[in-house]
A = this chain, B = another copy of it.
Amino acid sequence: VPKLVDHDLRRAEIAQAVFRLVEARGLEALTIRDVAVEAGWSTGVLAHYFQDKDELLAFAFVRVAERIRQRVDAIPPTDDPFERLRAGLLELVPLDDGRRSECQIWFGFLGRALARPGLAAVQSALYAEWRERLELAITEAKEAGLLRADLRPADEAAELAALVDGLSLQALFAPDEIDPDRLRRLVEARLEQLRG
């Protein structure tokens, strides 16, 4: 009987190993060898999945996006589209250690991706999808009369994505000044300005 390998499970385990290492030591020093040791496998097994560090980082970046999407999808349903928008945005900012390490992977990846077309394409696709999801959520809230009538949902989607990215960056570097309470308040204050 051939030995069956559950590749999805392996990928999930690799992602967990990457997240643990980034939390402990940051992204820059991450190597495929470290990830192999952390996951308890040989470097050879890892090489089966990733050709180089860039592929490993792209994988971690996409996993972060999936993790966030799962949390957003798991938000208890509510009839209030404004509340859904609020809760969704708060899943993206570093309000706890888990989200902090997600943000570290995110911006570490973006910094590298700027100069690498292959990685940049992964970013572009994810952000285009993110803006679309936000646009949909904004349109729903606007049609329910909960947001200003003059809002352009596509533009506001880019603005809210920018807000979340920019505030997360500031919170990562100045965790005392932009602490979780203030971060939450800043996101909510912005949304209040959009109320109809």
Select the stretch in A1-9, A80-88, A106-114 that faces chain B.
A106-114
Task: Tell me the interface secondary structure of chain A in the complex.
Answer: helix
What's the minimum C-beta distance from A28 to chain B, rounded to whole angstroms?
Answer: 4
Chain A, 149-196, CB within 8 A of any chain B CB: 152, 155, 158-159, 161-167, 169-170, 172-174, 177-178, 182, 185-186, 189-190, 193-194
Q: Give Cα A172–Cα B159 distance, bound, in whole angstroms.
A: 15
The answer to whether A27 has its CB under 8 Å from any CB of chain B is yes
Cβ of A78 under 8 Å from chain B: no
Instruction: Report the minimal beta-carbon distance from A152 to chain B, rounded to whole angstroms.
Output: 8
Contact partner, A173, options B127, B172, B177, Cβ 8 Å: B127
Range class of the A interface residue count: 35 or more
Q: Is the CB of B114 within 8 A of A26?
A: yes
**A174 partner residues in chain B, CB cutoff 8 A:** 124, 127-128
Chain A residues proximal to chain B, CB less than 8 Å: 25-29, 104, 107-116, 120, 123-124, 127-128, 148, 152, 155, 158-159, 161-167, 169-170, 172-174, 177-178, 182, 185-186, 189-190, 193-194
Query: 4 tightest CB-CB pairs across the interface, nearest first?
Result: A111-B111, A162-B166, A26-B115, A165-B166
Q: List 17 A-B contacts (CB under 8 A).
A: A107-B114, A108-B111, A108-B114, A111-B112, A111-B114, A123-B173, A124-B174, A127-B170, A152-B189, A158-B167, A159-B163, A159-B167, A159-B189, A162-B165, A162-B170, A163-B166, A165-B166
